Structure 1
C-alpha cells in the first residue's frame, strides 16, 4: 500500500526536526558544527531520552523593574507586540497623556494584534495609531473600556468621566 502524502509530510518534518536537533547537539558540545571540542567546560545533558527541553513563556514584560525605577511606569505582561517606545523617535505610535507625567508615554504596536497589561495612573487622553485599539481603565473597583479613535486624540479616564474621577490605565489591546 503506498504511503499517503500527509504521512510523507509528517515523516519529512520528523526527520528534519531530528537533523536540527542533532546539529544543535553537535554545536553545543563541540563549539562548531562537525568540529572538535573547543574546551573542557560543562557538558550538555539529554532530557527525557534525547527529547529537547521545553521553554515556558510567562509573558512578563522584559526589564519591567528597570522601567519602573527609571520612568515610574508599571509594565506587567504582554505578547510582545506592544512595547514602550521613545516618543521622539517616530510616527505611528500610541501616545498616552497622564496628569502625573510631564511627557507623553508612547507605545509601538507591531504585528496583526497585541496586548499589554500595565498600570499608569491619571490617564486622561490617548492618541491612536493605524490600529484598532481599546483600553481598559479602573476607577476604584469599577472597570471601564474605551475605544480609541485611529490617528486622533480620544478623551479617556477623568476627561470622559462625568464626575472627573482619576482612572488608571490597566490594559491596551490593538489589532489591524
Structure 2
C-alpha cells in the first residue's frame, strides 16, 4: 500500500516539474542586481587606509588584517615614518598531512608597503616571516613569537631604511 502511494506521488510531481517554466537566457538581469562574488585578493578599504594612515595595503588572503594596537596576540611593528602599527593574525589549519602543498604552513599573508620599519614583534601563537626590501634587494626575517625582532636599521644603525613588503604567518607542522 505504501509503495503504491509513493508511485502515485512520484507520478504526480514529475509532470509539475516538467511544466515549470525554464529560466530564459534572453531576459536581462535587473539593473540593481548585485555583482557576482569574485575574490580578487585586493585588500578591502586599502584606499581609505592609505589616505588616513599612509599605509599601503596591496593584497592578501584575509588572514592577516590591520587592527588597532593593544589587542593581545597581534603582530606589532614600528616604522620611523609611520609609527606603531599592528596586525591581527588568523591561522588556517589544514588537517590533511598527506598534501605536500601545505608545507611550509605559513599560509596567512598580506602584501603591503610600510617604509622604514626597524622592529617587529611576532604574535604569540604563530610562526612568522617578514620580507623587507632596500635598494632592489629583498631580505626575509624569521620573526620570533611574542618577541621583538630587529630588522633593517634596528639590526645596525648603519643599515639603510628597509620597507616591509610582506608578512606571513602560520602554525608549525604538528603531525
TM range (shorter): 0.5 to 0.7
Indicate whether 1:117 and 2:111 are aligned: yes
Give, in whole Å, the separation in 2 of the partners of 1:99 and 1:54.
Answer: 41
Unaligned runs of 5+ in 2: 1-22, 24-28, 93-106
Q: Can you list the C-alpha shifts for 1:142-173, whole angstroms capped at 9, x where unaligned?
A: 11110001100000122125732100000001
Q: Which residue is equivalent to 1:165?
A: 160
Structure with greater Cα Rg: 2
Indicate whether 1:97 and 2:73 are aligned: no
| Distance apart, 1:55 and its partner CA | 3.8
Paired positions, count: 128
SS of the equivalent of 1:163 reads coil
| Distance apart, 1:72 and its partner CA | 0.3
Unaligned runs of 5+ in 1: 1-24, 26-40, 46-52
TM-score by length of 1: 0.67
SS of the equivalent of 1:122 reads strand
Give, in whole Å, the separation in 2 of the partners of 1:171 and 1:65.
Answer: 18
TM-score by length of 2: 0.67
Give, in whole Å, the separation in 2 of the partners of 1:75 and 1:42.
Answer: 34
Q: Which residue is equivalent to 1:80?
A: 62
Structure ranking higher on relative contact order (CA contacts 8 Å, 6+ apart) = 2
Indicate whether 1:137 and 2:132 are aligned: yes
Does structure 1 retain, via aligned residues, the 8 Å contact 2:132–2:164?
A: yes
Give, in whole Å, the separation in 1 of the partners of 2:138 and 2:157.
Answer: 15
Q: Which residue is equivalent to 2:120?
A: 126
